[in-house]
Amino acid sequence: MSSFDTYNYDVLVIGAGGAGLRAAIEATANGVSVALICKSLLGKAHTVMAEGGIAAALSNVDERDNWRVHFADTMRGGQYLNDWRMAELHAKEAPDRVRELEAWGALFDRTKDGRILQRNFGGHKYPRLAHVGDRTGLEMIRTLQDHGIHQGIDVHMECTIINLLKDGERVAGALGYEREKGQFKLFRAKAIVIATGGIGRAYKITSNSWEYTGDGHSLAYHAGAELMDMEFVQFHPTGMVWPPSVRGILVTEGVRGEGGILLNREHKRFMFNEIPELYRLQTADNEEEGWKYTQGDRLAKRPPELLTRDHVARCIVREIKEGRGSPHNGVFLDISWIKTKIPNAAEHIKKKLPSMYHQFKKLADIDITKEAMEVGPTTHYMMGGIRVNADTQMSTVPGLFAAGEAAAGLHGANRLGGNSLSDLLVFGKRAGEFAARFAKENSQGVIDDRKVEAFVQQALEPFERTAGDNPFQVQYDLQDAMQDLVGIVRKEDELVKAMHELKKLRERFSKVRVIGNREYNTGWHTALDLQHLLTVSEAITRAAIERKESRGAHFREDHPQKDEHSGNCNLIIVKGEDGQMLVKRMPLRDMRPDLIQIIDEMK
Amino acid sequence: MKADFQIWRGNASGGKFETYSTEIAEGMVVLDAVHQIQAAHANDLAVRWNCKAGKCGSCSAEINGIPKLMCMTRLSELPLNKPVLLQPMKAFPLIKDLVTDVSWNFTVKKKIKKFKPRPPDAQDGTWRMLQQDIDRVQEFRKCIECFLCQDVCHVLREHQLHAAFIGPRFLVHVAALEMHPLDIEDRVEELKKANGIGYCNITKCCTTVCPEDITITDNAIIPLKERVADRFYDPLKKLFRIFRSINK
Ligand SMILES: Cc1cc2nc3c(=O)[nH]c(=O)nc-3n(C[C@H](O)[C@H](O)[C@H](O)COP(=O)(O)OP(=O)(O)OC[C@H]3O[C@@H](n4cnc5c(N)ncnc54)[C@H](O)[C@@H]3O)c2cc1C
Ligand code: SF4
Ligand code: SF4
Ligand code: FES
């Protein structure tokens, strides 16, 4: 019998990014005992990297903005596959959640009259993103962290959850290991919130960190929860492409929001070539109008660079494929050109985009105030995730909640920039509140010790193998396969091939071998993360095969059109009785008439 | 081209430098080399990282003896004709290889009085602040908690006065709170006593290593020292001045 420490809490929050922190704060405010768990140190979650801003219709910069416009923008961006109730709650509650951050000490950039400043971003009709230069995520996570540490939350840092435990239908606890010594920890809890973020490490070129191995998605799936919209992986149009070692690192959309333009090798502004029907009435007619928009001209329409990410990413891929890319297989993103428009452009760029300036200067020897950057698409965000109730954030498993990037629904087929940070706040709070309520109304479930023991043994198996693959190599091969076969442009035969590859990778995973002991052993950690990566990769691929149309972030070369007939549904992934992964179609819920009216009015 | 790296391998009970050789490509940073070595030769090599872009402050280590972020240190900045020396931060207890136990920092922060705003300025519960009034605090809020400044500060590194001195990172944190236009809490007494600001003798080593270019000493610590001096020593100074004028 192996030993492990046992802890008891009312609510267990897995993940300490914006969503997890906000959930933990809310749960403690509701008077229950709370633990917050994270794989890295506190404050290092992905949220810290967010750059551009938090979307909320504060209407500080343009009084025409309000929750209705934000709602309509979010639904249009998601190609109407979004859960409309979530989109409604999000648009209505985001402003309060942002103001609350200010009350907790956040210092956003200001308007001239001293209120929170907002900037333009893709797909948002009016300037809507509250921001701090291009380090908004840092401001947000630090504010939540510094507020949270005084609320009596127990934080378990550098602790990775590897299994969820159930009592009958409902969730009863979670098993994890702490990285330092490799000891196991058993958490008994009445309710659990999954806030583990995304899956970007399933791809080779990504803006995501080592943490993004889809743990929460996979834990919930194996505990019987439904996943939804897994085919929708957001490829951000602008990641760094050169030098090779920085490939994939994000270049914020804020660059385009501040007037940056995309050029091909012929120095042509190619984004004007194709404007999608849904956005024709909202897009600038010419370059001058686009520039005026970025400078706050209220009569001007947005430049095509600020169309939704799915579209911009595909246009870039086309330029590169047709031989008009930049020297290192990207395109040019130029902000330095604004010097022809405004005085002190260099200072202005450094003030508005300080970390981009620093990042390029330091990592690529490029001064963005003088030269264009080279950029290309990078895996960025997972729209798909755990299916939840819009109001409570509870999954289909009683007592198991989800919020943030790990949950599905708000963004539909494509997320608008800035809508993630607001998502974390709005639904993190809701998840915390309803998890606390669930914990108060239910007693602690019973955990079967033999199950725990079996999970522990399973986790230790890789140490016992004397032959077998190196876990890093299996991870690299999985990333290559997903990048090549389930990337931005997809087709049936490649997706089918990906399924075969994943099957082979799963076999290799079952024989993966770990050297050394349990102390801070990154090889072991990588080996354990693999099971999650394999599960989410399979879910993405199966859903991508099933959706035989193109919509939002999911583009099928063999079915390039949107198909209202077969496509107006969400795809649900669930574990079948025999352990097989099943894909089900779920028709869209009928939208409330008042919301339909909003959408019609905003067309 | 190949380059050699001497990496500290071991835990609190002992260890040694191991030499690894790895292929170098254009634009590589130290963290890339460490990852290559980890994947190919040392699967169990302990190292922290998250963003690979200088935003999270996880990958702090000592590169050729200098505290730096591994993800922001290009190999082209280093002499590669001899091995690159990689060690964990020294001011904190070692866990394993390049990973140290930085939990002390989290404990310190918890003891600092939290943000306490004045009542809202407007009916709707919001405040008004001008950009020029928050520029100063925004500088401090750039901190990514890499703890490199803590690592280099002799009060912690050599004298190990962790119990008496909160270190530059948390003086920056206190400065951010004290100079926040909305904050009405008073932290001056704890600065002197519990935080031990007097231990800082303004060597400015912290400012030199800060990857976020925060002017730690001049903008944060010195103004805080002045506040402490005003509160605790000013009456004495006044008395002294009176004494002198009488004697004239
Ligand atoms: C470079 C970059 C820039 C971005 N910019 C913006 C922006 O400007 N605006 C915007 O709205 N969005 C932006 N995004 C997206 C947004 O930052 C993320 O979607 C969001 O931060 C996710 O937050 P989260 O709370 O869901 O998860 P995260 O912040 O990623 O936190 C996940 C947490 O879960 C923990 N965890 C994971 N697995 C486990 C496990 N098995 N056991 C225990 N803990 C676990 C992790 O340790 C971590 O603490 C950006 C993303 C990136 C990468
Ligand atoms: S200036 Fe003060 S805080 Fe900074 S390193 Fe020197 S003694 Fe330490
Ligand atoms: S002040 Fe600078 S050196 Fe110190 S922890 Fe913050 S970012 Fe790092
Ligand atoms: S990995 Fe984030 S600062 Fe280096």
Please tell me the distance from the alpha carbon of residue A35 to that of residue A440, in angstroms, as a whole number. Answer: 15
Mean pLDDT of A62-77: 97
- Return the residue whose CA atom lies nearest to atom 5 of ligand 2: B153
Is the backbone of residue B137 left (phi > 0), alpha (psi -120 to 50) or beta?
Answer: alpha
Residue A5's closest CA among A190, A176, A189, A186? Answer: A186
Residues 6+ apart with CB under 8 A from A528: A160, A162, A459, A462
Which positions 59-98 of B are in contact with A (Cβ < 8 Å)? 72, 74, 95-97
Q: Which amino acid is at A489?
A: V
Please tell me the distance from the alpha carbon of residue A167 to that of residue A224, in angstroms, as a whole number. Answer: 12
A44 closest CB neighbour out of B29, B46, B58: B58
Question: What are the φ and ψ backbone dihedral angles of A483, each rounded to 5 degrees?
Answer: -60, -45
A584 forms bridges with which residues in the sheet?
A572
Query: Quick one: pLDDT at residue A244?
Result: 87
Residue A214 tokens read as: 């889809």
Parallel, antiparallel, or unpaired: how do β-strands A34-37 and B2-11 relate? unpaired
Q: Which amino acid is at A528?
A: L
Please tell me the distance from the alpha carbon of residue A507 to that of residue A539, in angstroms, as a whole number. Answer: 17
In a mutational test of the pocket of ligand 4, which residue from B34, B35, B51, B74 has the highest number of ligand atoms less than 8 Å from its CB? B51
Please tell me the distance from the alpha carbon of residue A102 to that of residue A95, in angstroms, as a whole number. Answer: 11
Distances (CA, A) of A284 to A93, A300, A305, B232: 30, 7, 10, 62
Neighbours of A76 (CB within 10 A): 22
| Preceding amide of A304 cis, omega within 30 | no
Q: Which residues line ligand 4 (CB under 6 A)?
A: B 49-52, 54-59, 69, 71
Query: Quick one: pLDDT at residue A278?
Result: 85
Distances (CA, A) of A494 to A78, A499, A521: 25, 9, 35
Ligand 2 touching residue B205 (CB < 6 A): yes
Contacts A522 to B, Cβ<8 Å: 38, 43-47
Residue B72 contacts residue B133 (beta carbons within 8 Å): no
Question: What are the φ and ψ backbone dihedral angles of A572, each rounded to 5 degrees?
Answer: -110, 135
Q: By mean pLDDT, which of A145-149, A152-156, B239-243 is the weakest? A: B239-243
Mean pLDDT of A217-237: 97
Residue B182 tokens read as: 């909305």
Please tell me the distance from the alpha carbon of residue A11 to that of residue B16, in angstroms, as a whole number. Answer: 43
Residue A519 to residue B25, Cβ atoms within 8 A:
no
Q: What residues of A are annotated to the active site?
A: 309
List pLDDT tens digits, range A494-534: 999 999 999 999 999 999 999 999 999 999 999 999 999 99
- What is the longest distance spanned by two Cα atoms in chain A? 72
Q: What is the DSSP letter of A114?
A: S
3-state secondary structure A324-392: CCCCCCCEEEECHHHHHCCCCHHHHHHHHCHHHHHHHHHHHCCCCCCCCEEEEEEEEEECCEECCCCCC
Residue A514 to residue B11, Cβ atoms within 8 A:
no
Report the atom number in ligand 1 closest to the C-alpha of A198.
Answer: 30
Residue B115 to residue A476, Cβ atoms within 8 A:
no
Q: Is the pLDDT of residue B238 over 70?
A: no
A490 forms bridges with which residues in the sheet?
A556
Residue A514's closest CA among A464, A476, A479, A478? Answer: A464
Q: Is the pLDDT of residue B116 over 80?
A: yes
Mean pLDDT of B38-48: 96
The percent of residues above 90 in pLDDT, for chain A, comes to 94
- Confidence (pTM): 0.95
Cα A603 vs. chain centroid, distance in angstroms? 27
All structural domains of chain A with their residue ranges: 236-377
- Return the residue whose CA atom lies nearest to atom 8 of ligand 2: B153
Residues 6+ apart with CB under 8 A from B239: none
Residue A249 to residue B28, Cβ atoms within 8 A:
no
Is the backbone of residue B207 left (phi > 0), alpha (psi -120 to 50) or beta?
Answer: alpha
Residue A121 contacts residue A55 (beta carbons within 8 Å): yes
Please tell me the distance from the alpha carbon of residue B26 to that of residue A245, in angstroms, as a whole number. Answer: 8
Residues 6+ apart with CB under 8 A from A594: none
Residues 6+ apart with CB under 8 A from B135: none
List pLDDT tens digits, range A18-32: 999 999 999 999 999
Give the best residue of A40, A44, A49, A145 to mutate against chain B (max B CB count within 10 A): A44
Residue B96 to residue A246, Cβ atoms within 8 A:
no
Q: Is the pLDDT of residue B241 over 60?
A: no
List pLDDT tens digits, range B126-179: 999 999 999 999 999 999 999 999 999 999 999 999 999 999 999 999 999 999
Q: Which residues line ligand 1 (CB under 6 A)?
A: A 14-20, 37-40, 45-47, 49-53, 136-137, 160-161, 195-197, 207-208, 211, 215-216, 250, 381, 404-406, 417-421, 424
Parallel, antiparallel, or unpaired: how do β-strands A159-167 and A170-178 relate? antiparallel
Q: Is the pLDDT of residue B16 over 90?
A: yes
Residues 6+ apart with CB under 8 A from B163: none
Query: Quick one: pLDDT at residue A325?
Result: 95
Mean pLDDT of A333-341: 96
Residue A44 to residue B126, Cβ atoms within 8 A:
no
The CA A15 to ligand 1 mean position distance, Å, reads 9
Distances (CA, A) of A435 to A30, A144, A221: 10, 19, 19
Residue A432 contacts residue A30 (beta carbons within 8 Å): yes
Please tell me the distance from the alpha carbon of residue A79 to that of residue A213, in angstroms, as a whole number. Answer: 27
Looking at the complex, does the CB of residue B108 fall below 8 Å from at least one CB of chain A?
Answer: no
Residue A162 contacts residue A177 (beta carbons within 8 Å): yes
List pLDDT tens digits, range A567-580: 999 999 999 999 99
Which positions 5-24 of B are in contact with A (Cβ < 8 Å)? 11
Element (H, E) at A170: strand A170-178
Neighbours of B240 (CB within 10 A): 11
Q: Which fold has domain A236-377?
A: Flavocytochrome C3; Chain A, domain 1 (3.90.700)
Please tell me the distance from the alpha carbon of residue A190 to that of residue A192, in angstroms, as a whole number. Answer: 7
Domains and CATH numbers, chain B: 2-100 (3.10.20.30), 103-247 (1.10.1060.10)
Please tell me the distance from the alpha carbon of residue A122 to that of residue A418, in angstroms, as a whole number. Answer: 9
Q: By mean pLDDT, which of A148-152, A257-261, B107-111, B236-240 is the weakest? A: B236-240
- Return the residue whose CA atom lies nearest to atom 14 of ligand 1: A50
Distances (CA, A) of A148 to A76, A152, A158, B234: 35, 8, 18, 37
Q: Is the pLDDT of residue B248 over 50?
A: no
- Return the residue whose CA atom lies nearest to atom 7 of ligand 3: B143
Grade residue B97 by pLDDT with cuts at 50, 70 and 90: very high
Please tell me the distance from the alpha carbon of residue A15 to that of residue A157, in angstroms, as a whole number. Answer: 10
The CA B178 to ligand 2 mean position distance, Å, reads 19
Q: Is the pLDDT of residue B232 over 90?
A: no
Query: Quick one: pLDDT at residue B246?
Result: 57
Mean pLDDT of A45-53: 95
- Return the residue whose CA atom lies nearest to atom 2 of ligand 2: B200
3-state secondary structure chain B: CEEEEEEEEEECCEEEEEEEEEECCCCCEHHHHHHHHHHHCCCCCCCCCCCCCCCCCCCEEEECCEEEEHHHCEHHHCCCCCCEEEECCCCCCEEECCEECCHHHHHHHHHCCCCCECCCCCCCCCCCCCHHHHHHHHHHCCCCCCCHHHHHCHHHHCCCCCCCCCHHHHHHHHHHHHCCCCECCCCHHHHHCCCCHHHCCCCCHHHHHCCCCCCHHHHHHHHHHHHHHHHHCHHHHHHHHHHHHHHC
Query: Quick one: pLDDT at residue B235?
Result: 65
Contacts B142 to A, Cβ<8 Å: 135, 138
Q: Is the pLDDT of residue B245 over 90?
A: no
Element (H, E) at A14: strand A4-14
Residue B26 to residue A244, Cβ atoms within 8 A:
yes
Cα A455 vs. chain centroid, distance in angstroms? 29
Counting beta carbons within 10 angstroms of the beta carbon of residue A162, is it exposed (0 to 12), middle (13 to 18) or buried (19 or more)? buried
Which positions 168-187 of B are in contact with A (Cβ < 8 Å)? 177, 180, 182-183
What is the full DSSP assignment across A546-584? Answer: H--S-BTTBEETTS-S--HHHHSEEEEEEE-TTS-EEEE
- Which ligand has the shortest distance to the CA of A16? 1
User: In what side-by-side order are the strands of the sheet with A581-587?
Assistant: A385-386, A227-228, A569-575, A581-587
Which positions 116-145 of B are in contact with A (Cβ < 8 Å)? 117, 120, 125-131, 134, 137-138, 141-145
Q: Which residues line ligand 3 (CB under 6 A)?
A: B 57, 143-149, 168-169, 172, 209-212, 214, 216
Residue B131 to residue A109, Cβ atoms within 8 A:
yes
Average pLDDT of chain A to the nearest whole number? 96
Question: Is the torsion defined by CA of B159, B165, B170, B171 positive or negative?
Answer: negative
ipTM over 0.85: yes
Q: Which amino acid is at A74?
A: T
Please tell me the distance from the alpha carbon of residue A569 to that of residue A582, in angstroms, as a whole number. Answer: 16
Please tell me the distance from the alpha carbon of residue B201 to that of residue A472, in angstroms, as a whole number. Answer: 47
Query: Quick one: pLDDT at residue A245?
Result: 86
Looking at the complex, report in whole angstroms how far the Cα of residue B17 sits from the nearest Cα belonging to chain A.
17
Mean pLDDT of A52-58: 97
CA-based nearest residue in chain B for residue A473: B39
Residue B44 to residue A473, Cβ atoms within 8 A:
no
The CA A405 to ligand 1 mean position distance, Å, reads 7
Helix A84-103, helix A67-77: angle, nearest 10: 130
Please tell me the distance from the alpha carbon of residue B199 to that of residue B192, in angstroms, as a whole number. Answer: 9
Please tell me the distance from the alpha carbon of residue A554 to that of residue A303, in angstroms, as a whole number. Answer: 23
Q: Is the pLDDT of residue B101 over 90?
A: yes
The CA A109 to ligand 3 mean position distance, Å, reads 21
Residue A416 tokens read as: 């608008």
